Amino acid sequence: MTRKEKIAQQKINEKRRVDRERRNKFAVTRTTTDTQGNVTKMTPGEYGVGNIKSEASKSGLSLAGDTDKYADGSEFKKSKDSSVTQSKLSKRVADRQALKTFRKNKRAEKVAVRRGMSPQQAKDFMQNRRTRLNQALGEFGKGIMGKKQNLGNIDDRMYRKKGTGTLQNMKSKDGSTYDATAPYKGDPDKNYSNRGKGRKLVDKYEEILGSKVNVPVVSAKPLDLSPIPPQSPKEKIIETTENVTKKTTNPPTVVTKGLDSIQSRDQVPPNRIVRDNIRTRDSGGFYNTEATGNQAMQNAKQRQSSNSLSELLSKVTANPNDILDDINLKNIDRPTGAFRSRRR
């Protein structure tokens, strides 16, 4: 992908992430009621859990309302989109930031598949390594200067191959320890195709007691075990020879619609005639009932007989002397110089 294509793709991905987060946060809870009055409340589960978060969510921006709320509690009015009237400097800064984010997200997706964690966890882990390196270099510089070092300022590593990372030893509310990367390790029966991918939470259902408290129990209908009576065989309709002869001797008249439909002589146009209930032209070699198959070809050959050709040749009144004069005109020299016509 070129630089422009990466920037455009990053803008599309950012919009999709914001739409996903808005849907997960403001999903409407639906309530259904069956015929007996039982009310079921369904809360849709979040989808795309573990995928990379949008840039807007990092700063604590709210996804709805007329104000932007940040993590420190400050609120500002939403600013309008001024990307159309941006200066060249602002566009270059925005494109450079989008390209930088695109590269980070792509690398995080690869690390997620390789390490077996969610894309967002992989992106946080990448940032954790950079932060720990900067903190360690700072403490190393203090030692060179003779100052007191404090290794407690270095953050803990989020992921380790031995399983001692902070993500692999998360504390639950009841005090137990669990591995936060476990849901993204992939399933062996799926050949680990879902390794390092986002997941979808299960929908939550809550049954609210309503009118079903006093609903009477419906008694089951007893089974009818009586034998099924045999069915009588269907009577066969046998047609006599008299009925068959009547059908063959008096067939129904079939009327077809189309260009060659059957018409009466009164309805035929003046330039057409009817021959044996088939509409044909006066001339032009159209077939009729008498001339079909080989007979039609013979009639067509008769029109181009030798007599007709001789009659055409007799009508030619060209003078051979005039033809010779036309031939001699071709041998005349063409004009040269200014009299020659220019080719265009």
Q: Could you tell me if residue 299 is inside a domain?
A: no
Asked if the model's pLDDT at residue 100 lies above 80, the reply is: yes
| Residue 41 scores a pLDDT above 70 | yes
The model's pTM: 0.56
CA distance 185 to 196: 7
Taking CA atoms, 66 is separated from 53, 60, 248, in Å, by 22, 15, 87
Has residue 251 been placed in a domain?
A: no
Domain count, the chain: 1
pLDDT of the residue at 319: 62
The residue assigned the tokens 């203090």 is 142
Helix (H, G, I), strand (E, B) or coil at 69: strand
The pLDDT of 263-267, averaged and rounded, is 50
Summarize the confidence of residues 134-163 as an average pLDDT.
Answer: 93
Cα–Cα nearest to 154, from 141, 129, 135? 135
Read off the DSSP letter of residue 263.
-
The more confident residue out of 64 and 211 is: 64
251: confidence class by pLDDT, cuts 50, 70, 90: low
Q: Give residue 337's pLDDT.
A: 54
Q: What is the mean pLDDT of the chain?
A: 76
Residue 207 is predicted with a pLDDT of: 53
Domain assignment of residue 87, given as a range: 3-210
| pLDDT-based confidence at residue 58 (cuts at 50, 70, 90) | confident
Q: What pLDDT score does 45 carry?
A: 87
Asked if residue 220 is part of any domain, the answer here is no
| 201 assigned to some structural domain | yes
- Judge contact between 182 and 199, C-beta under 8 A: no
Angle among Cα 116, 122, 126 to the nearest 5 degrees reads 135
On whether residue 123 sits in a domain, the answer given is: yes
Residue 161 forms part of a structural domain: yes
Contact yes or no for 50/119 (Cβ under 8 A):
yes
For 266-330, give the DSSP string: GGS-TTEEEETTEEEESSS----SSS-THHHHHHHHHHT-HHHHHHHHHT----HHHHHHHHHHT
Give the chain's end-to-end CA distance (angstroms, integer). 50
Q: Is 159 in contact with 219 (CB distance < 8 Å)?
A: no
Instruction: Give a yes or no: residue 315 inside a domain.
Output: no
Is the residue at 36 inside a domain? yes
- The DSSP symbol for 49 reads B
